[in-house]
Structure formats: structure tokens, C-alpha cells
Amino acid sequence: MVRSPIIVALDVSDAEEAVLLAERVRPHVGAFKVGLGLLYGAGPAVIGRLARMGPVMVDAKLHDIPSQVGAAARRLGEHGARWVTAHASGGAAMLEAAGAGLAAGSPGRAAGVLAVTLLTSIGGPEAAEMFECTPREITARLAGRAAAAGVEGVVCSPLELGVVAEAAPGLLRVTPGIRALEAPADDQARTAGAREALDLGADLIVVGRAIIAADDPAQAARRLRASLLDG
């Protein structure tokens, strides 16, 4: 397990800015997240630069036919990804292909797939309209299927951590949608604070704006880590 439960989301589009941010906060975080904006803006080479400083979660949210997902996961592994995300809704064969591809691209290194359940931007009413069930029901179903496909972990809202623990015990639980107290939800619908998420059962929490948008990102990361360890 990483030394801090914080995965800092480097949600910038420029490689140099991402690397500079990572250098500033690295003493206080456990890993770095490369999202779609950075992946498509700076290109996958930024993964390797960040991997020299710590584990990298590439939030690629892969979702395609198994052969394509396997090939993409392998390439991301070759660049140094510790974790790669793929949509659980893509099915068992797709998730298995992601795992096999990532392993092939990461010889001699630990690497695993994180299955994304339901995006934290989707609220209860929208989930009911789209899927005719609740976020908890969707998450439980997808987490169970992802576990059967051999993934390392699951990405879920903090509000569904309990059902993931029941449906897929033993899997790493990674939680996005973390907000500072009184911070706006922005484009998230199912959120929680950092301490609350850990108390609910998260192993790792993804924190973006609360750190990278702070006047002093290093100080913000340090304070957050200290508050979690003291808790």
C-alpha cells in the first residue's frame, strides 16, 4: 500500500505544470492521477515522468472491445502506469483483456486494473432514469462482476463504499468525488469529505481541486494528509 491515502488528481493539460505540481506535493501524497485532459493534452509520455516520483493512476476509463482495451492497457503499462481504469460495464472479457494487456506492458512491476462502477457525476434521479435502479444497486452489480474478472480494485463514489465491500470484499477501493468542507460540488453529484470517505471504507481517495487549486498546493496536501493520519 502507498504511504499516503491521497491520490492527487493532476487535472491540468500541460506536462510541465503537471510535473511541477507533482514535485511540490509528492512528500504528502501516495500517488498521482493522470486524467483524460492531461493524457490527451500532454500525451502518455508524462506518465513515465511522473512514475519516477511515485505510483501513477492513469484514469483512461477504457471501454471498447477486448482487443482494443488490451492493447491500450499494454501501452499505458509500458509508459509506467501503476493502475489503469476501465469501465466495469464493458464486461468481464474486456476487463480481463485490460488486466492481461497491462501485465504484459509492466513486466516485473506491480500493475492492476481499477474497474469504474458509476461515475460520481450521475445522481440518483439520473441513474433511475437511465438504468431503472439506484446507484447502490448498479455499483453492487458491477463491482461483483469486476471482482470475478480479476481486477485489482474498484472506483466508486464514497456513498457506495459499503456495498462494494459486501459485493467485492478484498478489492482495493478507490474513491473520487472528494470535496473540502463547504466546497461547491462542481460537476459531481455523489460526494463526501476526505475523512468521511476513509471512515466509510475507502483505501485511497482522489483529491483534485482542494490541492491543485490551492494558493499553496504543497501546504494543502500536507494539511490534508496530517488531518487524515491524525484521525
Report the distance separating Cα 195 and Cα 125, nearest Å: 26
Report the distance separating Cα 115 and Cα 62, nearest Å: 9
What residue has cell string 439520473? 126
State the DSSP H helix or E strand holding residue 84, giving kind and residue range, or none if neither.
strand 83-87
Active site residue 33: no
Which candidate, 102, 208, 203, 92, places its Cα nearest to that of 154? 203
Beta pairing class for 31-34 and 6-9:
parallel
Collapse the DSSP code of 4 into the 3-class scheme (helix H, G, I; strand E, B; otherwise coil) and give the result: coil
Task: Answer yes or no: are the C-beta atoms of 27 and 53 closer than 8 Å.
Answer: no
Q: Which of 24, 37, 41, 61 is catalytic?
A: 61
138: amino acid identity, one letter: I
| Residues annotated catalytic, as ranges | 61
